[in-house]
Amino acid sequence: MTIEPWPRPNYTTGGPRATIALIALSSVKLPDPLPISRAKHGMPVSGDGPSSIVLAVRDRAEGSEQFHAEVIAPFVGLITGDLGDDMIARARDAQHAYVIECELDDPDDLGHVQAAWALAKCVCEEGAILVIDVYAARAHYADEVASLPPDRRFDVMHEVTLFFDEQPDGTLAAWSLGNCKFGRPDLVLLGVPTEGATEAALLLRDVAATLADGERIEPGDLVTTPDGRTLVATRFLPETAPVVAVEGDALLLRPA
């Protein structure tokens, strides 16, 4: 089986660095080197992605307090919310963390994302208990990651997470996390009526998919919604909506 990099059919140059970080927790020491297989785990055969991935191992034995503070504590709420109390108890007992990272300048394919998940799939097959997708703010059961088909197609909703929270005026704020994996900004919608949550989710999903495909949206650009409305992209200012938890640059999509 030959695994080709996920393409970006509408790739436009000039984007920032793409960044991905996955953390796999394990209670047992895994083989070194890991038995990574291109065909079995979905490692692409070409492109810059595979050579750009860095795998680092953190061991609790090197300093338990520091291990907990840097590897476990920042993600306690995330793991509990996504995987439940039983899994957070197991995470607190983890002895090893396998940190998979990549930074790649303006990539013209998504092979780096594939390569990161290929390593995570291998780590989970060898005994990890869960995987934290840092920039998408999501935790996955190890068996879910281990069962990822190596020849699967790109799925934007596996890479990006959508969040909603109520604003003081009773409307919703909606935003994405994870677009930095593609070297693209996250997206924010404000003033969403509660009955419009589904429509907002579809809009964020569809725009995130176009960004993953390689398109760029800059402040001042216009975006057309599925129902024909026109939105304009502006730079999101965190102080205007403290409930929105995005890091780095993000774009607010508002009525034109």
Q: Are residues 106 and 78 in the same domain?
A: yes
Task: Assess if residue 107 is contained within a domain.
Answer: yes
Domain that holds residue 88: 17-146
pLDDT of residue 120: 98
**Domains: count for the chain:** 2
pLDDT of residue 1: 78
69 pLDDT higher than 80: yes
Task: Assess if residue 43 is contained within a domain.
Answer: yes
Three-state SS string over 25-68 comes to EECCCCCCCCCCCHHHHCCCCCCCHHHHCEEEEEEHHHCHHHHH
pLDDT digits (tens, 9 = 90+) for 74-120: 999 999 999 999 999 999 999 999 999 999 999 999 999 999 999 99
Task: Assess if residue 135 is contained within a domain.
Answer: yes
pLDDT digits (tens, 9 = 90+) for 146-161: 999 999 999 999 999 9
Distance CA 40, CA 242 (A): 44
Q: What are phi and psi of 42, to 5 degrees?
A: 90, 30
Task: Assess if residue 8 is contained within a domain.
Answer: no
Question: Rounded to two decimals, what is the model's pTM?
Answer: 0.96
H/E stretch holding 210:
helix 197-212
Distance CA 100, CA 132 (A): 10
- Domain end call among 146, 172, 202: 146
